[in-house]
Amino acid sequence: MIAWWSVLMPLSVAPFEEAGLNVQLDEFEALVMDAVARTLPRRPLVDARADLTADEAAFLTDAGVSLEDFAPPQLGARSPLVETAAEYAALLATALTVPELARRLGVDQSRVRQRIARHTLVGVKPGAAWRLPLFQLDGTGQHLVPGLASVVPRLAGVHPVVVARWFTLPHPDLDDENGRPVSPRDWLLGGGDPAEIGALADELHDRG
């Protein structure tokens, strides 16, 4: 039987090994399942259509109400809720701890904690310890993305999955030299103006 999360992302430890992490598949699956358990509704889903009499169903149909509106939400592999939970689990599985990031950057752990407190680093705290998503590092994995300190404060309060998507996916308002959309991350890595990315980051709050 194929697990639903294997449809969403390949179950491979290669990306974790490339990131310098030792993550086992069973650990990754546990993270996904835990994220889903904490994200999905805690009460049983009820199909309200089962409680309708034939006359009630006919009345609603005549009134132009679709009976599908009474169906419970779909929580299968294509459910946005499940996809977000899986993305969140993957974000945590590949994130660095404070000591790991400090070693990579060659700084003291207190410096990393200061940046978390000042909201100049994206930090996620699923438990007792902070986790720092890898998308904040450049291609070498040894340096932070240029201009990050002036952009991240504008992202405070935005869900980490939303931040990850926004930061790493092509943005329609950002183009490379060939006119192709690039992500805010690639824009900054290419020497783009952080102020422009900061202005785009404000749009995430406007949408909320």
| pLDDT at 204 (0 to 100) | 79
Contact of 98 with 129, CB cutoff 8 Å = yes
| pLDDT at 8 (0 to 100) | 35
Give how far Cα 145 sits from Cα of 67, 118, 141, Å. Answer: 50, 17, 10
Contact of 92 with 31, CB cutoff 8 Å = yes
Task: Tell me what the mean pLDDT of segment 162-171 comes to.
Answer: 92
41: its two tokens: 């509704």
pTM of the predicted protein model: 0.63
SS3 of 173, please?
Answer: strand
| pLDDT at 31 (0 to 100) | 56
| pLDDT at 32 (0 to 100) | 55
In a domain, 135, yes or no: yes
| pLDDT at 84 (0 to 100) | 77
- The rounded distance, in Å, linking the Cα atoms of 17 and 90 is 14
> Domains in the chain: how many in total?
1
| pLDDT at 96 (0 to 100) | 94
Task: Tell me what the mean pLDDT of segment 131-150 comes to.
Answer: 93
Given a cut of 50, is residue 67 above it in pLDDT? yes
In a domain, 199, yes or no: yes
Q: Is 134 left (phi over 0), alpha (psi -120 to 50) or beta?
A: alpha
| pLDDT at 11 (0 to 100) | 37
In a domain, 9, yes or no: no
DSSP letters of 17-69?
A: HHTT----HHHHHHHHHHHHHHHS-SSPP--GGGG--HHHHHHHHHTT--GGG
50: CB partners within 8 A, 6+ apart: none
- The rounded distance, in Å, linking the Cα atoms of 40 and 29 is 16
In a domain, 168, yes or no: yes
In a domain, 43, yes or no: no
Query: Letter for the amino acid at 178?
Result: N
In a domain, 64, yes or no: no
Given a cut of 80, is residue 156 above it in pLDDT? yes
pLDDT tens digits, 7-64: 333 334 444 444 444 445 455 556 555 555 554 444 444 444 555 567 656 655 655 5
In a domain, 65, yes or no: no
Predicted confidence band of residue 151 (pLDDT cuts 50, 70, 90): very high
Task: Tell me what the mean pLDDT of segment 89-114 comes to.
Answer: 93
Question: Percent helix, strand, coil in the chain (nearest 5)?
Answer: 55, 5, 40
Residue 120: give the domain boundaries: 96-208
Q: Vertex 189, ends 187 and 134: CA angle to 5°?
A: 105
Among 30, 126, 36, smallest CA distance to 85 is for 36
| pLDDT at 42 (0 to 100) | 45
pLDDT tens digits, 191-207: 999 999 988 888 877 65
| pLDDT at 92 (0 to 100) | 86
In a domain, 83, yes or no: no
